[in-house]
Every structure is written in structure tokens, then in C-alpha cells.
A and B are shown apart, each in its own frame.
Chain A
Amino acid sequence: MKRFLLAFLLATPIVVVHAESEDPWLVLKKAAQAAHDLSYAGVFIYQSGENVKSVQITHTNSGQGEYARVVVLDGTPREMLSQGSDVVIFSPKNEKVIMEKRRAHNLFPAVLPVDIEHLKASYQARIGGTERVAGRDGRVVFLDPRDSLRYAYKFWADREYGLLLKSLMLNEQKQMLEKMAFSQVNMLEDQGMDWFHPNVDHSKHYILEEANAQPAQESSGWTVGALPAGYRKVEQVTRLVPGKTAPVTQVIFTDGLASVSLFIEPLSKGIRPKIGQTSKGATNFYANVSKGHQILVVGEVPAATVAQIGSAVSFSSK
């Protein structure tokens, strides 16, 4: 009997570990939902290349929609307030504060799309161990690309609440491109709305910047052929770019996590066309000239992806 008990005790941890092996996609789905549904406050670190910023976030959802306030604590005191999908960004510039109205971005910890199914074609998920982040137990989930057209991710999801505690974006050499990680996070209960206002500096002028991108009709004269696997077009706008007099067409593609912008504009006299490829941190750039048009592709994706999208543009002969 004793021997049996001993064997049982020895076997138990293995059994427990086995029982713990969760579906990684379910962990990610829960994390995506938790970021929108829960009320929480904390400070996270954002790191991209050499740049490191501490960011304070307060997010509530008491059933009447989402409210969030995000304050960048280091350097320029940028601030963002959001209600539902409406976002206002406050960024000081000299003696002014520029207010920009935007639609919602997927800001940490809400970096995962709610519709997680889209990711399955392009990434494979695998469950990892448990690691402690911001004083909480995090379940590790690896999200590895199925091809070389996107980066890899590693996520830590709170074992109790599901919320993402940490997110890493890695290149093919497993080097870190972008990191976001809570250093402290707490769940909020009855918090009221007193916190939901920007920190106004009365000595400065506040200027509302009009959105400079307008939804665009399908373009005539050019088409984007075969996209890199897993990417789909999500939006097309015409926008003004500083230093350009004519509006530029911008098409946005995503695979659910990574996004790429394609810019197309007619070549204008006096502006030197750009060609070639370059990169800065996680962002890759591709430029080419075709049939009197400047093509420019920008995205937080590998070089092959921007090149493939740029090369897929073809102009119909007139």
C-alpha cells in the first residue's frame, strides 16, 4: 500500500502537468476578450529597439462600454483617452498640445484580434510553461509563423484572469523586436469615472487636428495582384502626406496581427522617386517606380513581405 501511495505521489505531478496542458488558442482567445471585458489599471513597459517607455493604463468596462486612459510616463507626456472605438491622442508640441481623433488601435494588452480564427492560417500556437510577470503567474503561449512572411510572438496570459501580462515580437533569429510587459497590474472593482480626463496644461493651446485620411473608393488604373499568404486588404484611404501636394492612396493589409501599408501616388515633377529596400527596427520599407507611379510599402513585417506586396501592384494599360 505504501509503495502504491509513493508511486501515486510520484506520478501525481506528471498527471497534473498533463491536465494543465491547455489549448493555446483558447488561452489567446480568452486573453483577447479579457483585455476588452475586464477593468484593470497598471504600468507597462514598451520597448522597441533602443527605445524604452513606461506607460500607465487604466481600462474599465462596467457593461456600458470600454473606457481607457493611457499615459506615456517617460519623455514627451503623450496621453490617449478612448471611449469605445473613439480615441483622442494628446501630444504636446512646443507650446501647443495637438489633439488627434482616431479610431481604436489594438493597444496593449488588447493586441490580439477578438476574432482569433483569422490567425490560424498563418500561425501555429503552442503552449509553454508558467512564468511570473508583474507579480502574477502567466501562461506562456508561443505563436510561430507558418512561413517567413511574418514575425513570431510569445505571449504571457494571466492564469487567473486571462489578461495578457507580456507580449514579445521576435524575428527569425529569435531576436526581440518589440516588447510590452506589465510591471504592475491590478484588477479594478468600483472605480467611478473620476480618472477619465486628460491632464490639462492651462498654459498651452489645445489644437484639434483634423483627420487627414478619407475612406477611398476602389482605385482605377492599378490593382494589387497575389498578396503574400495570409494577408488580406482591410482598408483603403486617400490621405495627405506632409510635403506632398496631391493626396496619396494608402491601402492597409493585415494577417490579423501584423499590418502593412501600401502607398501609391503619381510621380510628381521635382520630387525624386525612391527605390530600394531598407529597415529600421521591426519596420521594413520597400520602394519602387512603375508606370509613372511611386510605390512605397511600410510594415512591421519581414523584408520579403513588403517586397512581395510592392511587386504585386500592376497598372492596367490605358
Chain B
Amino acid sequence: MKSQISALMDGDVALEDAEYLYTTLKSGGETTQAWADYHLIGDAMRGNPVFNPDFTERLMASLDQEPILLVPAVKRKQALLKNSKLWSVAASVSAVAFVGWVVLQQQVQNGIDDDATPMEIAQSLPADYWLAHQSQASNNSAYYIQPANYSE
């Protein structure tokens, strides 16, 4: 699953052929858990401190399973750049940020999140509404040239 998301990100799989990724992610189970983990990583990268209590433990456990590197720092850096697994994680995070909202919508509708608590609008820009504004407001050159859904 993870490698498939990476492949999507690397362009090895066309977006058209990746609909199963949405379906799989939405179906729940292990992949949903994996997605939740990635989502947390994404949040952390964006500076939103919303860690699950057990997230750090699980992250440390998975890091423990990594082999210990006994190479000079410079070489290690190069090795890291070549390390496909690192890239695959990075790509997965980006890929999940990309497909993530679909699943998030699904989860939210399933009531997994606490749906009564209001969230700060700054946490997630309402891109759909922004686009709706651009498309309807007549004084908006941006809609033709740089619509909201293309800007990120």
C-alpha cells in the first residue's frame, strides 16, 4: 500500500489508475491506520502539535527496527538521499496530504472525529469555498489564470 502511494507520487502510476487507492484508504482497517499515522506525520511537518499518545511510541518502535548505520556523517547523508525508503516515506506523506482529504471527509462523516468541536479555519483553508467564490464573483481574474484548486 505504502509503495503504491509512493508510486503514485513518483508518477509511476497515473492518477487515473489510482482510484483504488481512494477506495482502499476509505475501506478502513490496516490501511486506514497507516493513513492515520501518515496524517500525523503530515501534521507534525506542518507544525500542528496533534500527536496521539501512542504515536511516538509506535514511531520509536519502528525506528528501533531500522539497522544502525556505522558510516561517516557525510556518507550517511548521501546514503540517506539515495535511500529509497526515506524517499518513499516522504512521498507517502505528500501523497497522503494529496489524497488525504477524501478520506478525512469520509472519517469525519463516520463520526470518528469529534464533530461537535469547532475547528479553527486557519487549520484547513476552505479551498472549495474559495474556488466557489472565485468562480462566481465577477471581479476575479484569478479564476481564469490561477484558480484556488491549482494554487497548491
Interface contact A285-B121, CB-CB below 8 Å: yes
Interface contact B141-A235, CB-CB below 8 Å: no
Interface contact B14-A276, CB-CB below 8 Å: no
Residues of A within 8 A of B64 (CB): none
Interface contact A276-B145, CB-CB below 8 Å: no
Task: Select B118's contact among A111, A275, A299, beta carbons within 8 Å.
Answer: A275
B110 interface residue (CB < 8 Å to A)? yes
Interface contact A48-B142, CB-CB below 8 Å: yes
Partner-contacting stretch, out of A15-23, A126-134, A237-245: A237-245
Partner-contacting stretch, out of B1-9, B21-29, B78-86, B128-136: B128-136
B139 interface residue (CB < 8 Å to A)? yes
Q: How far is the CA of A21 from the CA of B117 in the complex (A)?
A: 59
Interface contact B136-A51, CB-CB below 8 Å: no
Residues of A within 8 A of B111 (CB): 269-270
Interface contact B121-A270, CB-CB below 8 Å: no
Residues of A within 8 A of B144 (CB): 55, 70, 72, 78, 80, 89, 105, 107
Interface contact B118-A273, CB-CB below 8 Å: yes
A67 interface residue (CB < 8 Å to B)? no
Q: How far is the CA of A272 from the CA of B120 in the complex (A)?
A: 10
Q: Which residue of B lies closest to A72 (CB)?
A: B145
B12 interface residue (CB < 8 Å to A)? no
Residues of B within 8 A of A243 (CB): 101, 105, 128
Q: How far is the CA of A258 from the CA of B132 in the complex (A)?
A: 16
Q: How far is the CA of A193 from the CA of B119 in the complex (A)?
A: 52
Task: Select A239's contact among B114, B121, B132, beta carbons within 8 Å.
Answer: B132
Question: Which of B108, B126, B139, B151 counts the most chain A CB atoms within 10 A?
Answer: B139
Task: Select A276's contact among B15, B105, B121, B139, beta carbons within 8 Å.
Answer: B121
B69 interface residue (CB < 8 Å to A)? no
We find that the number of chain B residues with CB closer than 8 angstroms to chain A is: 41
Q: How far is the CA of A94 from the CA of B19 in the complex (A)?
A: 13
B138 interface residue (CB < 8 Å to A)? yes
A243-B105, A271-B109 in contact; A259/B126 too (CB < 8 A)?
A: no
Task: Select A104's contact among B121, B132, B138, beta carbons within 8 Å.
Answer: B138
B140 interface residue (CB < 8 Å to A)? yes
A274 interface residue (CB < 8 Å to B)? yes
We find that the number of chain A residues with CB closer than 8 angstroms to chain B is: 64
Q: How far is the CA of A126 from the CA of B131 in the complex (A)?
A: 34
Task: Select A296's contact among B119, B120, B129, beta carbons within 8 Å.
Answer: B129
Task: Select A250's contact among B110, B132, B146, B151, beta carbons within 8 Å.
Answer: B132
A241-B132, A261-B133, A275-B119 in contact; A300/B145 too (CB < 8 A)?
A: no
Shortest Cβ gap from B48 to chain A (Å): 14
Interface contact B128-A213, CB-CB below 8 Å: no
A216-251 vs B, Cβ < 8 Å mask (1 yes, 0 no):
000000000000000000110101011110001010
Residues of B within 8 A of A269 (CB): 111, 115
Task: Select B143's contact among A105, A111, A213, beta carbons within 8 Å.
Answer: A105
Interface contact B138-A275, CB-CB below 8 Å: no
Residues of A within 8 A of B150 (CB): 75-76
With A252-B137, A272-B114 already in contact, 8 other A-B pairs whose C-beta atoms are closer than 8 Å: A48-B146, A76-B150, A239-B136, A244-B128, A252-B136, A270-B108, A270-B109, A298-B133
19 contacts across the A-B interface (CB closer than 8 A): A53-B146, A76-B150, A107-B141, A180-B141, A237-B136, A241-B129, A243-B101, A250-B132, A250-B133, A254-B138, A269-B111, A270-B115, A272-B114, A273-B119, A274-B126, A275-B118, A296-B126, A298-B133, A300-B139
A residues bordering B, Cβ < 8 Å?
A: 46, 48, 51, 53, 55, 70, 72, 75-76, 78, 80, 89, 94-95, 100, 102-108, 111, 178, 180, 213, 234-235, 237, 239, 241-244, 248, 250, 252, 254, 257-261, 263, 269-278, 280, 283, 285-287, 289, 296, 298-300
3 interchain residue pairs of minimum CB distance: A259-B137, A261-B133, A278-B122
